Structures are given as C-alpha cells and as structure tokens.
Amino acid sequence: MGPGNRPLDLEWLEDFLALAESGNFSRAAQARSIAQPAFSRHIRSLEEWVGVDLFDRSGHPTALTAAGKRFQPLLQEVLAGLEAARIKARAAHDLDAASLSFAATHVLSLTFFPRWLGSVESRLSMGPIQTVSDSSYACEDLMLQRRVQFVLCHGHAGAPGRLDDTGYPVQRLSEDVLVPVSAPDANGAPLHALGAGQSPSVLAYSDASGLGRIMRAMQDSEFGKDFAASLSIVFTAHHAALLRTMALEGRGLAWLPMSLVAEDLRSGTLVDAGAGGWRVPVDIRLYRQQAHMAPVAEALWALVSGGASGA
C-alpha cells in the first residue's frame, strides 16, 4: 500500500520503466501493448501512489524528475528480486518433477531436436519435458515472457535476433546450411534455377521466421546488392516445412536447411537450384533464461556449455 492506503498495480512499474527508456508516451504505450490514454493513467496512478511526480512532461522527450531518477534503479532491483523469488518458488515446486521447458522452431523440432535430445538424455536424467514448436519470433516471445527455459533456433552472427540484442546466454550446438532447392524437370535439372539469366520464382520466408531474417540480412553481403531485386517472390510462409512442400510441387525455389532436405536431395525429389553455390551457413543455437533456473535445467546448460551437446 502507498499513501492513503492506495493499492499498487505491478503493471504500473513495468509501464514506468518503458516510459523511462523511451521518453515518449506513445512509443512506450505501444511497446507495452496498451492504449495511450490507459498508459497515461497508469503513470499518473503510480505517481499518486509514490506521492511525487516521476516525469517532467514539459519537454520532449519526456524526462525523469530527480525523484524519478532515484526511483528507477530501486524499482529495477525490486522487480529483479520479485522475478528471482518467482523463479525460485517455481523451481522448488518443479524440483520433484524435474521438468524442462523448450521452445523450438518448427523445422528444428522436426529434424535436430529429437536426435539431440536423445543424445543428451543418455547422459542426464531429465524427467518430463515440455516443448512448444512455433515460429522464431513466437519462440523469442516465450523466452522474453519467461514462459520457457530454453529456445532452440537457427542463428547467424550477421543477423542478430531479439535474444541476442538483449544478451540472453547462448551456446552453438551444431551447424546447418541454407541450400537453394527446386523440384527437377524431366531431365533432372532444376525447374527454377539461380544464375540462369532470368528472375526465378522464389518461395520466401515471412517476417516471423528467423531463417527469413537471416536471408534478408545476408542476401546483399553474400550475393550482391542487386540480388534481392532480381528475385520474383511468389509465395511467403514462416514454416520451412511448408516451403519444402511448395518446392516439391514445383512452385518455385526455396532456401531450406540441409537438415530438412538432405534426404530429398539424395533421392532426387529436390535438386540444388544454385549449382553448389548461393548457400548460407547457419548455426543451430540454444538460448537459456538469464536468471537462475531449476537444478535440472542448470545441469543441462552445464552439459551443453562443456561441449557435450550431442550434436
């Protein structure tokens, strides 16, 4: 309780930090997914609870008052302490079950994850495991919301994601490569080929796809600044498995992970559309929560960090 026994809403504290960071009510409200009038009411309610103005609204950007500057680091410590307490309480609750929670991108949940998990389980008693399979962006959201302990995804040093930008610990488990592939014609040549002097039909990744982020970041540096403009995008999705199906149907070429299409290339149902070139090496990465996790999760991370990933 604050002055006058007013209740405190913890959401107001997160709103305060968002505004302190951005200095703009509209951007902070958008970042918090709150309508601006409601966001402004939250800030005013917090100031009433504290008993002083925390922001100077007379200038642009909005700045912290002296009281706000003093309040900010103390508030960050309080929220960090609350989060640590929540994590420790949940860890104690889950200790007997020894549960692990992963978010994995669709393609890696189908290809790499089962094999890697089997290898790790041979060296670590893991207990029940919860896994969510989704787009790279959705997996990042689950980590940022502290709803999973680990995220398994593709990555590239030249295309950092939100978990890289916010400093989440990461280990490289293995390597993969994005290969341009196409269905073959009657003679075994690619129906859609790169370097053929024409604009090939391309099956592309959506903005929610981590592989799409990597491709967009690396196209100019790897293939030349005019490369993207030479492509004709005919279909977009964030699932590599869906792009593979469309490629098998002859709808266009797609850059797909070798881990997904190796058997297709061996059998000839897909062929290399780039004559061995136009490839993009990528990492297979495991990210973890920044805060302390349950003992079994920490044991898994220690195993991975020691180079015993089983990849």
129-171 per-position pLDDT tens digit: 889 999 999 999 999 998 899 999 999 999 999 999 999 999 9
Please state the φ and ψ torsions of residue 104, each to the nearest 5 degrees. -130, 140
Question: Taking residues 246-272, what's their average pLDDT?
Answer: 96
Place of tokens 């490569």: 177
CA–CA dist 105, 241 (Å, integer): 11
- pLDDT bracket for residue 95 (50, 70, 90): very low
> What would the DSSP string read from start to end of 212-225?
HHHHHHHHHHHH-T
Question: Under a CB-based contact definition with an 8 Å cutoff, are residues 113 and 284 in contact?
Answer: no
CA–CA dist 257, 240 (Å, integer): 8
Which pLDDT value is given to residue 310?
A: 44
CA–CA dist 46, 20 (Å, integer): 13
180-216 per-position pLDDT tens digit: 999 999 999 999 998 766 788 999 999 889 999 998 8
For β-strands 63-64 and 129-134, DSSP reports them as: unpaired
* Average pLDDT for the chain: 88
CA–CA dist 30, 11 (Å, integer): 14
CA–CA dist 123, 185 (Å, integer): 47
Residue 232, strand partner residues: 201
The rounded percent of the chain whose pLDDT value lies above 90 is: 68
136-146 per-position pLDDT tens digit: 999 999 999 98
CA–CA dist 293, 84 (Å, integer): 9
